[in-house]
Amino acid sequence: MTKGKKPSESYVGKSVRAKEARAPLIGKAKYTNDYSFEGQLYAYILRSPHAAAKINSVDLSGAKKISGVHLALCGRDVFEHTNGITDHLNPAIFGGKSTRLPIMAVDEAWCYGQPVAIVIAEDERTARYAASRIQVDYTPKEPVVDAEKAIAKGARSVVPEWDDNVLIYVPFMNGDTQAAFDQADKIVTTDVKIHRFSSQPMETRCYNAVWEHDTESITLYGTCQNPHPLRLVLAETLRMNENKIRIIASTIGGAFGLKMHGHPEEPLICLMTKLIRRPVKWVENREECLLIGAREQQHKVEMAFDSDGNMTGLRDHFLANIGAPSACPGWGMAFLTGLTMPGPYKVENIDVHMNAVTTNKPSWNAARGYGKESTAIALELAMDNAARQFGISPIDLRLRNFITKDQFPYPSPTGLVYDSGDYGGVLLKALETIGYEDWKDKQKAALAEGRHIGIGMAFELTPEGGTIPGTMVAGYDSSSVRVGPDGTVRVLTGITSPGTHNGTAIAQIVADELGIDMDRIEVLQGDTNSSPYGFGNYSGRSTIVGGGSAALAAKDVRDKINAVAAALLEVEIDTLSLSEGVFSSSDNGDATVTFAEVCYASYTRAYDVAMCIDPPLEATRTFKPPGISHLPDENGRINPYPSYSNAVYVVVCEVDTETGKIDLLSLAAAHDCGKVINPILVEGQVCGAFAMGLGGALTEDVQYDANGV
């Protein structure tokens, strides 16, 4: 077999500079908004100024009179041309309510900012002005804004056809929790309120839909994490065949879950180009981006302990204020919060109840962490409170209750199977890195001076690569590897990159599998007409499944190349070696042939040296990560994740108790993320995650008043 590069020359494990980084740095990256086409038109969406209102009438005549306006439609007009848009992570699968919804408000506005009308014009300014001339007659209703009030007896249903405001309720129960609490030596109760904050990528969403006159089809250039699933949603909603829709996900300037499919603007802009037969572009403004919500939860965490501080039972009945009904998969974050309880702690008796509650706030979409960060926030605050109640170190209490490294694989009480870990080791590594004992001394000295230094720590268990049966969250993915006659390589993959440079990681993997320089490799993503069917970017899966499938395909192609190289050198395959692009054999002295020469012969000598292979030098493979199980256990539970990474962050800050000013003094993070393909890319993700977490903790809070505005 081909030995490939020497181990010291392996790309995997090296901090290779991101191949995709240069274009954005020099201003040459082409984002969706950079695309313009002949006859380009622009859309502006008029949104509801009310959180809850009956729509009595929509008068579009004022907009239609404006010069440069090509089309103006209200929700009822759009409804006549489309089916409802549905969430492919449909709550009905889990016993919740079905969410096939109109693209725009028709008779009722369910939240502030819901689309009510749309104008298409020669330029965005004209479209915006024309929209201001639309007259909408509303009858405002008292909005349902608070989750507790939304589930109270007699509360008005946000959706009139529903009998209550619970989109979905899921219990996660195991063992005898009541007995654990009855026998507990100490019970600690912690109320945790997680405020509403979401992802805000530098690039907002943008869609540019083009009508292809020759094929009577639509090409959508869009900021989309999941091109193939979006294509299916559009086909269903627009009453078209899938093969009449092409999605091209251009360079994406950040996503963090916010650009997962399900937004009403996706089919809406496509419908406009279908009706007008000209390109139509819509660019989200920052206020519209801020409407997309996430994370707002209320927890009542109760922990039962024995006299030694071992947790024996956990209860958590929590509410998630998911806002108005939506076809986006945001509600699943609340489900994941419940599913990932009790995190890293070894307690069998749990009684966790999740209520995802609809209100008249704007809808959730996915956000980085996808509910697992909320699990960590609730559990870690509760553990700190418990440590104070016991009068012991929060470190000792965690170490006492962590699952130990000899207990893996560990079946969690919700049905997950944690594959591996050393939770105590990760915590101790983070503490060692920050110099915890030194900071404790500095903390005491500062207090004597009247200064207040705090030291905080938190553990997060982050299963990644999730899959849910019966949905477009499918778990596996596919890649094609194509080697040309000149020895250059193209990798086409179903995953996408929201700016995380996973294309570089995939190129590293393929380069090692083929034994060539990674500069010869190009990774192409995000085009449904060329990429093999895939499910895109979500749940930290891109390098797992994109890299895994590319590695399998590269191995298949490498086997073909090896066979032809052996035929050219007239040796056995297992005597071959490949170094710096040149094949040689231990059985044939100084005879050599270059990688490029072998590739050329594979295409041009199909009936002599390449008789042993089926040309061309291409392969498509699918990677189904091991460890996932969709076969329910005796309690109906499944394990939807292949990997269970984990991390500890330790932070030191000083607080001015008079002004509330916070100065960050030191930070350390320890991550167990498995095999690292590219350390510098991992460091970038860790730094970005810290910045996002710091923003959520200290500066970000999307607030709505009692009127839901």
At 105-124, the pLDDT tens digits run: 999 999 999 999 999 999 99
Q: In this structure, is residue 513 part of a structural domain?
A: yes
Which ranges of 435-546 would DSSP assign to H, the alpha helix? 436-448, 502-514
Cis peptide before 264 (omega within 30 of 0): no
Tokens 């105590």 -> residue = 424
Q: Which residue has the higher pLDDT, 551 or 630?
A: 551
The pLDDT tens digits of the residues spanning 30-50 come to 999 999 999 999 999 999 999
Beta bridge partners of 151: none
Range of the domain at 574: 7-29+476-623
Over residues 238-249, mean pLDDT: 97
Distances (CA, A) of 428 to 311, 340, 673: 20, 23, 16
What is the pLDDT, as a whole number, of residue 589? 77
Whether 8 shows a pLDDT value over 60: the answer reads no
Other Cβ atoms within 10 Å of 486 Cβ, number: 11
Phi and psi at residue 481, in whole multiples of 5°? -120, 125
Work out the angle between the directed axes of helices 265-276 and 227-238 (0-180°, nearest 10). Answer: 60
What is the pLDDT, as a whole number, of residue 4? 41
The pLDDT tens digits of the residues spanning 431-463 come to 999 999 999 999 999 999 999 999 999 999 999
Phi and psi at residue 373, in whole multiples of 5°? -65, -30
CA dihedral 81, 83, 84, 86 (to 10 degrees): -140
Q: Hey, is 582 helix, strand or coil?
A: strand
Of the candidates 232, 200, 199, the residue with the CA atom closest to the CA atom of residue 366? 199
pLDDT above 70 as % of the chain: 99
Whether 5 shows a pLDDT value over 90: the answer reads no
Output the CA angle 441-447-450, nearest 5 degrees.
150
Long-range contacts: 687-693, Cβ < 8 Å, 24+? 689/368, 690/649, 692/199, 692/256, 692/368, 693/373, 693/649
What is the pLDDT, as a whole number, of residue 6? 45
336 membership: H or E segment, kind and range? helix 332-339
Q: In this structure, is residue 546 part of a structural domain?
A: yes
Q: Which token pair is 549?
A: 């499938």
Q: How many CA atoms lie within 13 A of 32 on its CB side?
A: 31
**Could you tell me the CATH number of the domain that includes residue 546?**
3.30.365.10
What is the pLDDT, as a whole number, of residue 538? 87
Assess contact for 366 and 182: CB atoms under 8 A: no
Q: In this structure, is residue 18 part of a structural domain?
A: yes
Whether 637 shows a pLDDT value over 60: the answer reads yes
Q: In this structure, is residue 561 part of a structural domain?
A: yes
> Which amino acid type is present at position 1?
M
Say which DSSP state 545 is in. Answer: I
Q: What is the DSSP string of 574-592?
A: GGEEEETTEEEETTSTT-E
Whether 632 shows a pLDDT value over 50: the answer reads yes
Q: In this structure, is residue 694 part of a structural domain?
A: no
Distances (CA, A) of 55 to 139, 583, 706: 7, 73, 21
Q: Hey, is 173 helix, strand or coil?
A: strand
Lowest mean pLDDT among 1-10, 211-220, 613-622: 1-10
Domain total for the chain? 1
Phi and psi at residue 643, in whole multiples of 5°? -140, 150
Assess contact for 199 and 290: CB atoms under 8 A: no
* Rounded Cα gap, residues 488 and 596, in angstroms: 8
Beta bridge partners of 221: 208, 248
Distances (CA, A) of 369 to 319, 333, 494, 702: 18, 8, 22, 18
What's the pLDDT band for 309 if we cut at 50, 70, 90? very high
Strand order in 662-672's β-sheet?
Answer: 452-464, 643-655, 662-672
Q: In this structure, is residue 611 part of a structural domain?
A: yes
Phi and psi at residue 323, in whole multiples of 5°? 75, -160
Q: In this structure, is residue 295 part of a structural domain?
A: no
Assess contact for 362 and 111: CB atoms under 8 A: yes
Q: Which token pair is 491?
A: 């990798």
Over residues 209-215, mean pLDDT: 97
Q: Which token pair is 244?
A: 């009449």
- Residue count of the chain, please give it: 709
Over residues 417-423, mean pLDDT: 96
651 membership: H or E segment, kind and range? strand 643-655
Q: Hey, is 492 helix, strand or coil?
A: strand
* Rounded Cα gap, residues 625 and 404, in angstroms: 25
Q: In this structure, is residue 539 part of a structural domain?
A: yes
pLDDT above 90 as % of the chain: 88
The pLDDT tens digits of the residues spanning 486-544 come to 999 999 999 999 888 999 999 999 999 999 999 999 999 999 999 999 998 888 888 99
* Rounded Cα gap, residues 524 and 40, in angstroms: 26
The pLDDT tens digits of the residues spanning 660-705 come to 999 999 999 999 999 999 999 999 999 999 999 999 999 999 999 9
621 membership: H or E segment, kind and range? strand 618-623
Over residues 138-155, mean pLDDT: 96
81 membership: H or E segment, kind and range? helix 75-81
- Rg of the chain taking only CA atoms, in angstroms: 28
The pLDDT tens digits of the residues spanning 555-608 come to 999 999 999 999 999 999 999 999 889 999 998 878 999 999 999 999 999 999
What's the pLDDT band for 354 if we cut at 50, 70, 90? very high
What is the pLDDT, as a whole number, of residue 1? 35
Work out the angle between the directed axes of helices 372-390 and 332-339 (0-180°, nearest 10). Answer: 40
Other Cβ atoms within 10 Å of 421 Cβ, number: 22
> Which amino acid type is present at position 388?
R
Please tell me the pTM assigned to this model: 0.94
Q: Which token pair is 412?
A: 């969690």
What's the pLDDT band for 2 if we cut at 50, 70, 90? very low
Beta bridge partners of 302: 189, 315
Dmax (CA) of the chain: 89
* Rounded Cα gap, residues 75 and 329, in angstroms: 22
